[in-house]
Amino acid sequence: MVILTGIPRDLDSTTLQPEQAQVSDVHLLHSIARRDEQALASLYDRYHRILFGLLVRILSSREEAEDILQEVFLQVWRRAADFDEHRGRPFAWLVSLARHRAIDRLRLHSSLARASVRETGDDVSDTAQATLEQREIVADALAQLTDEQKQVLILAYFEGLTQAEIAARLGVPLPRVRTHMRSGMIRVRELLSGKVESLLETKG
């Protein structure tokens, strides 16, 4: 993300050399809004692995994750013109779309037993080195949280549980769950803001 989206937007794309890093995500979304299929393909190539990894982790099913991944990019195709770059990075928008859809699906099926076997990816090779670096930074930040903070964040983020469900699952009072979630998020934000500006910026 730092490399892909950290390009000042006033730079003309022709002044930058590498093929992949040339066009900013925001620029891609503008092109998608103008019905540029190639731009949609480029955005997919950039983020499909990280988004699919997230969806598989949430849904525990490759099949369902593929469904949602398609829905997400089709929604991007339909709604790119509505994207407002002043309200956040395109990546944050993509993650938000993906998570909401996945969690809606999860809650829809919540009466069904969730798959106990969690599939994970085995190859972590070809995505840009930038992603690997981001992963390490975020993983480091998470590692610095207390166990309680980490636990509630993960239950909400990857299992789609509400605060009340988390309280019930862990057998702790609701206000405590809320406190851990808030303090955990504040801590993550503090830890990331010094290191990955472009990840957290909402402007530009």
For another protein, the binding residues in 52-81 under the rule CB under 8 A are 52-54, 56-57, 62, 65-66, 69-70, 73-74, 77-81
Give just the sign of the alpha carbon dihedral 30, 33, 34, 40: positive
| Amino acid symbol at 53 | G
Query: How far are the Cα atoms of 4, 26, 42, 122 from residue 91, in angstroms, in the given order?
Result: 10, 9, 13, 23
Q: Are the CB atoms for 58 and 14 separated by under 8 Å?
A: no
Shortest distance (Å) from residue 52 CB to another protein = 4
Shortest distance (Å) from residue 197 CB to another protein = 11
20 lines the binding site for another protein (CB under 8 A) = no
Shortest distance (Å) from residue 8 CB to another protein = 19
Shortest distance (Å) from residue 78 CB to another protein = 6
Q: How many CB atoms lie within 10 A of CB 49?
A: 16
Structural tokens at position 71: 């829905």
192 lines the binding site for another protein (CB under 8 A) = yes
Phi, psi of 146 (to 5 degrees): -75, 160
91 lines the binding site for another protein (CB under 8 A) = yes
The size of the interface with another protein (CB under 8 A), counted in residues, is 85
> Cβ closer to another protein: 16 or 36?
36
Q: Are the CB atoms for 184 and 153 separated by under 8 Å?
A: yes
Write the binding mask 132 to 171 for another protein: x where contact by CB under 8 A, - elsewhere.
--xx-xxx--x----------x--xxx-xxxxx-x-----
> What is the footprint of another protein within residues 97-136 (CB under 8 A)?
97-101, 103-104, 119-121, 123-124, 127, 131, 134-135
11 lines the binding site for another protein (CB under 8 A) = no
178 lines the binding site for another protein (CB under 8 A) = yes
Q: Cα–Cα distance between 108 and 116 in angstroms, integer?
A: 17
Q: Are the CB atoms for 145 and 153 separated by under 8 Å?
A: yes
